[in-house]
Every structure is written in C-alpha cells, then in structure tokens.
Amino acid sequence: MASPVVIKGTSEGLIIELGQGDLQTILRELDQKLGQSARFFRGGRVALRVGSRLLNRDEIEALGNVLYKWEVTLWAVEADLPETRAAADSLGLETSIRPASRPPVVSREAREEPSEEKEPAGGWVASEGLLVRRTLRSGASLVHRGHIVVVGDVNPGAEVIAGGDIVIWGTLRGLAHAGAGGDEGAVICALRFRPEQVRIADVVATHAQEPGVSAGLPHMAVLRDGHIVLEPWVEGVGAAGRHPRVVSSRWSGFWRWLRRR
Amino acid sequence: MAGRIITITSGKGGVGKTTTTANIGVGLALLGKSVVCVDTDIGLRNLDLVMGLDNRIVYDLVDVVEGRCRLKQALVRDRHLSELYLLPAAQTRDKTAVSAAQMQALCDELRKEFDFILLDSPAGIETGFHNALAPADEVIIVTTPDVSAVRDADRAIGFVEAQEKGPARLVINRIKSDLVRKGEMLTIEDVVELLAIELIGIVPEDETIIMSTNRGTPAAMDRKSLAGQAFRNIAKRLTGQEVPFMPLPSDDGWLKRLTRLVRPTSS
C-alpha cells in the first residue's frame, strides 16, 4: 500500500501531500515520518496539499499540532474543496501554495466586492461567500468568515457559523449562527425551519414551534429590537415585502394555454 | 470468488447491531450463501452469545492477527447452518489489539472463502468503529426510531461518506407501531427524510428477539417470528431480490381489531 503521506521538496518549499486513508492513520504516519528525520525538518515551514479530502478546522489543527510537535510550522493548506479552504482560511492559513496567483477554482465563491486586503485570522468579513453542496450531518461544523449557502440540509447536531448571512436550500434542523462577528443585520434563511437554535450576532433564540413554521414553509430569521423574529417567506412578496405581486396568476396560466391553441 | 464485506454499525449502542448481524447472517445462510460473521467489538464480545456459539470458542480474532493460530482454526461453525461461521472477538483485550490494516488483511483472506463477510462494529466513533469500517465494501446503518439513535446514526453516516465507503443503507430496528400511530415515536418517513440514505429494512419490536437472544438461536431461524421475517427480507434484498416492505403489525388485541371491523369509523 502506498504511503498516505508524501513529503516533497519543490521550488515553493516543502510540501506534504496527503493521500487516501482515515485521518488517524495519516496523523500517525506523519508523526513517524517527521520523527525519522526530525533534525532536517526542525524550524521549517511546510504546506499541506490535501486534494479532495474534506477537513474541518479541528482536523487541520490536529495536523498542525503534529507538525508543531516536531517544530515545523504549517503555513498553507491547498485543497480542492471550498469547505476545506474555508476551514484553513479561518485558522489564518494560506489556501494557495503560490500566494500571488490564486487557483482559478476559487471563482465558484461569489464575491460582492473584490477585497485585496485579507482580514487577519479570526476576523469576520461579510463580503465573501462559501457554497456547500451537501447535507451537513451530525457533528459537522462549518465556519466561514463570510456568507454561507448550503444546498442540502443541516441536520441536528451540525452547526453553521458565518460572519455574514446563512442561506439553507433545504431543512435547517441544527444550529445556525449568522453575523458571528457581531453583524446585527445578518439574516438566516431556510426552506424549512426547524432548528435546535439560531443565533444572530450575540442574540440566541431557541426554536419555538409555530404553526406556520412547522408546516415547513420557507422562513427568514432577522434581528429586530434585540429579538430574533422569524418571518415567513411569502411567494411573490418575500419577507421584505418589496416585490410586486403577480396579478391574477390563475388567469395568466389560462391565457398561456389559450395562446398555445 | 470474491465475497462482499459488509460492516454493520450505528454510532449509538444498544440499537441492535449484533442482533442484526446475527440475523442477516442466518438469513443469507438460509439462502444458500456462505457467510462469516465477524465480531470486531474486541473486549466486549457479544455476537457469540446471540448466535449461541459461546461455548465452542477456542481461538479468536486477536489470536489470528497475532499469529497464534490459522484463520480456519478460529472460525466457529454454526450449530444449525453448515454455511454460517463466526469469527469471535477476544474478550480479554481491547480495541488497540488490532489495527485497521490488520482488519483489512484479515477480511481480504476471508473474502476468498466466503460470499458474505459481515462485520459487527462496536458502538461509538472511536478506533474500533474505524477499524470495522476500513475494510468495508458496503455499510449497513442500524438505528431505532428515537432522536438520540438517529442523531448518532447521522454522525456515523457522516464518517462513512467522508471515507467514501459507498452509499450506506439503513435498517430501522424496533419499530413500535402503536407508538408511531400515537405520534409518540418517529415515523419511518421522519427517519428516512433526515438520514437521506436508502432503506433496506424495517424490523418491528418483537419479544421473540429477546427470547431468541437468550436461547442463542437468532430469530431469523424462527418461521413464526415477525422480526425474523424482517431480517430474512433484508438478507434477500442484499442478494438483489426485490422484496416489498411488510406492513407493520397492529398491536391492538383481537377484540379491538374486531370492533374496528364492525365499526370502521370508531378508531
């Protein structure tokens, strides 16, 4: 079996590539490899290349801790998945081994404005977005400094924490915290709203069962006068009440049908 | 011949992994398949009891891994079915006695001899769980219809997906139809909607399970046991047969059922 940990020296410095296998094995292997030539690595800087592996903050920290044990500093994590990149970013790590040129795949992350200056680690900036296309199961933790869009469900025991807004194209059953950096204008939207808890900025709300909510209609949670209120998203009106209402939608269907004759 | 390695796991303990393993093993053996059930719960050996083979164990999984015996010596043949075997766990050791790579090597050996290798996983999401998952071709998640078991099952599925172990399939165990009807228990639809994986079995709560466990004869051997029937159906689905899910039993007495027949609107 090929080793799941490959250490390479390149023009960009030392790169550690992680292969297949569970993380515990990789941590052990990494520890062993570093230990074999501890003197060579001591005081060095390495970048991790993780491919399509999904890593959360804790897992990246665990890798960083093994490196730290051998006095090696982790400075970058290069990953295919935007979620893994976001986790690395939230730890203040670079997400590209060549800092000058970002990989083109980043274009999937919507940006409202091109921000040249990056906020330091831990800073919350509601100007970047992270799109995640999978269901977050129990134990999953998604933390991002900007907005988060989940195409899928957020199950009980999973948490989504964003510096900006949270949009769930699915059912929210876990925990959602929007405006985690203190942005009181942040909102949480979900197609079906059955969370364990929602938080906006510093305000916490446990979910009360309301008839309209349990019926599974799309809702938006906003902060109003220091309280989190849940507003149903009405078709054609929206929670903000700005969109023009479609007049006589029943008849428009009839006219369309007539025109096709 | 290359056998299929199926890991049976749950996250939460006490939802019926071991019972499910033993009964699916019996079900597959009744279909004429050669099956080995492997107890990977090292230190907390149970599968031997459920299969009624506890007094026949000479060697165990750790003995095989550490080279104290050959694999064939450690396999215990079932009392009733000649094509069903057990590879017992060690009772005196713990999870660190075996590594994931050793489990993989062991299963690759078993794959040459058997059609199905069923791995009974320990509860939890620690080393033992990962060791049982490592060699899996397929995964069966067992849950009961209560919120804590479902949440743990969800976590376990998360690990299965992260390790790209193919789509996990779901067994919902110990459904109490009267509680479901009263709205006191999660329904099958609730569980399937949340976990979002393919359903392969619904097993009703059945007291024959307790009796059969204590007797050491899996309920799937019992033609009259409802749960046994459900487990045999799971075995059939694993071999690719299309078997419709059986209707949940009514727990009402015969008198109540009779009154419902006479006055259909009364309930």
Predicted confidence (pLDDT) per residue in A24-43, tens digit: 888 999 999 888 888 888 88
Closest residue on chain A to B194 (Cα):
A155
Q: Identify from B194, B195, B197 which residue to disrupt to test chain A contact, counting A C-beta atoms within 10 A and taking the largest count.
A: B194
Q: What is the pLDDT of residue A129?
A: 85
Chain A residues touching residue B163 (CB < 8 angstroms): 22
Q: Is the pLDDT of residue A122 over 70?
A: no
Q: What is the pLDDT of residue A233?
A: 82
Q: Is the pLDDT of residue A237 over 70?
A: no
Which among B127, B133, B155 has CB closest to A138? B155
Chain B residues touching residue A157 (CB < 8 angstroms): 151, 154-155
Q: How far does the CA of residue A137 sit from the closest CA of chain B (Å)?
A: 6
Which among A24, A153, A156 has CB closest to B151? A156
Closest residue on chain A to B11 (Cα):
A138
Interface contact flag, B196 A22, Cβ < 8 Å: no
Proportion of chain A above pLDDT 90, given as a percent: 30
CB pairs under 8 A between A and B: 40
Q: Identify from B104, B151, B161, B163 which residue to disrupt to test chain A contact, counting A C-beta atoms within 10 A and taking the largest count.
A: B151
What CA–CA distance (Å, rounded) separates A142 from A161?
A: 6
Q: Identify from A138, A153, A173, A175 which residue to disrupt to test chain B contact, counting B C-beta atoms within 10 A and taking the largest count.
A: A138
Quick one: fold of B4-262?
A: Rossmann fold (3.40.50)
Q: What is the pLDDT of residue B262?
A: 61
Q: What is the pLDDT of residue B183?
A: 81
Q: What is the pLDDT of residue A114?
A: 40
Q: What is the mean pLDDT of residues A157-184?
A: 94
pTM of the model: 0.74
Domain range annotation of chain B: 4-262
Secondary element (H or E) of residue B267: none
Q: What is the pLDDT of residue A124?
A: 60
- What is the 3-class SS of chain A, one letter each residue? CCCCEEEEEECCEEEEEECCCCHHHHHHHHHHHHHHCHHHHCCCEEEEEEECCCCCHHHHHHHHHHHHHCCCEEEEEEECCHHHHHHHHHCCCECCCCCCCCCHHHHHCCECCCCCCCCCCCCCCCCEEEEECCCECCCCEEEECCEEEEECCECCCCEEEECCCEEEEEEECCEEEECCCCCCCCCEEEEEECCCEEEECCEEEECCCCHHHHCCCCEEEEEECCEEEEEECCCCCCCCCCCCCCCCHHHHHHHHHHHHC
Chain A residues touching residue B155 (CB < 8 angstroms): 137-139, 157
Q: What is the pLDDT of residue B65?
A: 95
Interface contact flag, B158 A24, Cβ < 8 Å: no
Q: What is the pLDDT of residue A19?
A: 85
What CA–CA distance (Å, rounded) separates A81 from A106?
A: 10
Q: What is the mean pLDDT of chain A?
A: 78
Q: What is the pLDDT of residue A244?
A: 36
Give residue ranges of A with CB < 8 Å to any B CB: 1, 22, 24-25, 54, 135, 137-140, 153, 155-157, 173
3-class secondary-structure state, position B234: helix
Q: What is the mean pLDDT of residues A232-238?
A: 70
C-beta neighbour count of A134 within 10 angstroms:
14
Which among B127, B150, B158 has CB closest to A140? B158
Q: What is the pLDDT of residue A120?
A: 39
**Any bridge partners for residue A13, and if so which?**
A10
Closest residue on chain A to B126 (Cα):
A24
Q: What is the pLDDT of residue A213?
A: 53
Closest residue on chain A to B135 (Cα):
A21
Q: What is the pLDDT of residue A90?
A: 83
What CA–CA distance (Å, rounded) separates A78 from A76?
A: 6
A106-117 pLDDT tens trace? 333 333 334 444
Q: Please report, in tens digits, the pLDDT of each residue of chain B (267 residues total).
A: 689 999 999 999 999 999 999 999 999 999 999 999 999 999 999 999 999 999 999 999 999 999 999 999 999 999 999 999 999 999 998 888 999 999 999 999 999 999 999 999 999 999 999 999 999 999 999 999 999 999 999 999 999 988 888 789 999 999 998 888 888 888 999 999 999 999 999 999 999 999 998 899 999 999 999 999 999 999 999 999 999 998 876 655 555 655 655 655 444
Q: Is the pLDDT of residue A199 over 50?
A: yes
Q: How far does the CA of residue A232 sit from the closest CA of chain B (Å)?
A: 22
Tell whether B155 is within 8 A of chain A (Cβ). yes
Chain A residues touching residue B196 (CB < 8 angstroms): 135, 153
Chain A residues touching residue B101 (CB < 8 angstroms): 1, 25
Tell whether B162 is within 8 A of chain A (Cβ). yes
Q: What is the pLDDT of residue A210?
A: 52
CA nearest to A206, candidates A196, A215, A216, A214: A196
Interface contact flag, B155 A24, Cβ < 8 Å: no
Confidence at A60, pLDDT banded by 50, 70, 90: very high
Interface contact flag, A135 B196, Cβ < 8 Å: yes
Confidence at A3, pLDDT banded by 50, 70, 90: confident
Interface contact flag, A157 B155, Cβ < 8 Å: yes
